[in-house]
Chains A and B, each alone.
Chain A
Amino acid sequence: MLFVGSYIASWLQEGKMKTKKTFAKIGTTFLWSLLTIITLFPIYWMILVSTRTPVELFGKPDLSPTFFEKVHWKNFTKPFIDGIYSDYLFNSIIVATSNAALVTVLALMATYALSRFKLPGSESIFFWTMTNRMAPPAAFLLPLFLLFSTVFKFGDFTLFDTKIGLILLYCVFNLPFAIWLLKGIIDGIPRELDEAMIVDGANLFTIFRKLIIPLAAPGIAVTSLLSFLFAWNEYLLASTLTSVYARTIPTGLSEFVTTTGTNWGTMAAVALVSMLPALLFLFAVQKHIVAGLTFGAVKG
């Protein structure tokens, strides 16, 4: 906190002397190093735990890194090869990928309609989509559970505990975000280009293929990556609306809480694996994460 203070102080009466500026620079760097340690230390510990045997984890925490040959691979093989977690992982991949694809296609269509056509009430529709993203999911757990298990019934088929149910459901929070994000991008493509193509006799499909998709490609990529991530990370709805066949990896992770005598090493390994997409996509989405999380209201 001393350094925050010194930083503010030096910032408030902007460096009259060069030494002061250097001091501020050192202070800022120190502060950010400290923050980085605070951010990374719990993650580092999780990685350590995932490499250790239960006996090694007993007693005083040992913070030294584990050597590669000493890694307790059983933490990973037990849940993912011998156990059910490979199924969870597979479900997560299917659900998140399909949801991202579906959301991107639907959002592209919807955004194009909202951007190019003067539909009566389209402004209200635009804002209504937003309320879906903002509503607390806990308030919808019960009705969704009942609808999924008893009301939306097609013969013997219910949406409860199916991947397709989750894929459709995740649209509720991903579609609004995708529409808001793409709206700014598609609004930025000049209308004259569409009109010129229509004059040339192009149909809607050609406009999408030759104009909208190529020009909005970076935005589309970010939208689908973030949709994937949000779907991958979702827990509450997945845990309520699945029981056996469509469980995703976050629900599997939460199962460690209830079991007595938690196997910490396995839990850390599962947590680490469920974090992997986030780590992989971090650099791809880093520049756009702000636009993504603020629905394009603030550009990154």
Chain B
Amino acid sequence: MLSKNKTGWLLLSPTILILVLAGLVPFFYVLYVGFFQWNPLAVDPSLQFDGFASNYRRLIFDEIFLESIWRSIKFSVVTLSIELTLGFLLALSLLSSFPLKSFFRSVHTLPLVIAPIVVGSIFKLFTVQGLGPLPHILKDYFGYTLNYGLNAEQAFWMIVIMDVWHWTPFVTLTLLAGLSALPQDPYESAKIDGANNFQIFTYITIPMMVPVLIVVIFIRLMDSLKIVDEVWMLTGGGPGYATRFTGIHIWKEVFEKRYYGLGSAMSILYLYITIVICWVLYSVMVARGKNED
């Protein structure tokens, strides 16, 4: 048996080695650097200890950082609710048959495989003042001026629209896969008992879909909390701080201002908040799922 286990570990070892070197080591390194003041461009470019957790103390009063976290959370909640509603409706509509269904479905899959940075470029070309058709259409037919280069509110919602465009298909297709795999018996007995479609939906479909919904919410939330690429391409985090999500904020602090120590502390807090949010969400949903059993 021992030799058999040895073979197993041998097969696993390259994977573990890579994940330790590129996943765990950076984590502990950033944890370590977070306790120091470190700016390689300063007069003294070495690591300096400045009281325990001084960076964290600074961060708690750093309004721009806290706002960026709040912004990321708001963004995640907004996009998640839109995508979930839209995706569920579209998934339900795909259960029935209608002309050209498989064609529509293929087109709907397309945004999923496009790189976020390319999605950012596509939207930049489509919406930028002076080039894109969207500002022209809005101006000519609705008298609405779209210039997210100057308007903070518009910039935020432009990112939301882009994210919905990019990721609703993921929600649709995943929920569709879940819906198609549901057992048919409960539906048949509910129909025999005279339940209407709304009752069937709330008392049968939704509870049976909880596991799939958890997966979807979990993945979407994780991904939208770490959004960087598309935003970087479309607005660069601006105007002002309007679309500066946490990922972009860290990038700017670390690589533009070279605040290595502070940036590390931010990274750790960011990681911590992401984990906490997902853990809370996960426990709530698992608990709800259990109650309904």
Chain A residue numbers with a CB within 8 Å of B90 are: 35
CB distance from B47 to the nearest CB of A (A): 11
B233 within 8 A of A: yes
Chain A residue numbers with a CB within 8 Å of B89 are: 4, 7-8
Bound form: Cα–Cα A271–B125 in Å: 10
Bound form: Cα–Cα A274–B229 in Å: 15
Stretch at the interface among A68-76, A82-90, A130-138, A214-222: A130-138
Number of interface residues of B (CB under 8 A): 94
User: Is B121 within 8 A of A43, CB to CB?
Assistant: no
User: Is A136 within 8 A of B121, CB to CB?
Assistant: no
Chain B residue numbers with a CB within 8 Å of A61 are: 131-133, 136
Q: In terms of DSSP, what is the predominant structure of the interface of chain A?
A: helix
Stretch at the interface among B11-19, B51-59, B141-149, B285-293: B11-19
Chain A residue numbers with a CB within 8 Å of B176 are: 290
Bound form: Cα–Cα A136–B8 in Å: 30
Query: For window 101-121 of chain B, which residues contact chain A by CB distance below 8 Å?
Result: 101, 103-104, 106-118, 121
User: Is B33 within 8 A of A45, CB to CB?
Assistant: no
Smallest Cβ-Cβ distance to B130: which chain A residue: A58
User: Is B225 within 8 A of A136, CB to CB?
Assistant: yes
Q: In terms of DSSP, what is the predominant structure of the interface of chain B?
A: helix
Smallest Cβ-Cβ distance to B200: which chain A residue: A14
A268 within 8 A of B: yes
Smallest Cβ-Cβ distance to B248: which chain A residue: A138
Chain A residue numbers with a CB within 8 Å of B267 are: 138-143
Bound form: Cα–Cα A286–B102 in Å: 11
A275 within 8 A of B: yes
Interface, chain A (partner B; CB < 8 A): 4, 7-8, 11-14, 24-25, 28-29, 31-33, 35-36, 38-43, 45-46, 49, 57, 60-61, 63, 106-107, 109-110, 112-114, 116-119, 122, 125, 128-129, 131-132, 134-147, 151-152, 168-169, 171-172, 175-176, 179, 204, 229, 232-236, 240, 250, 253-254, 256-257, 264, 267-268, 271, 274-275, 278-279, 281-283, 285-286, 289-291, 293-294, 297-300
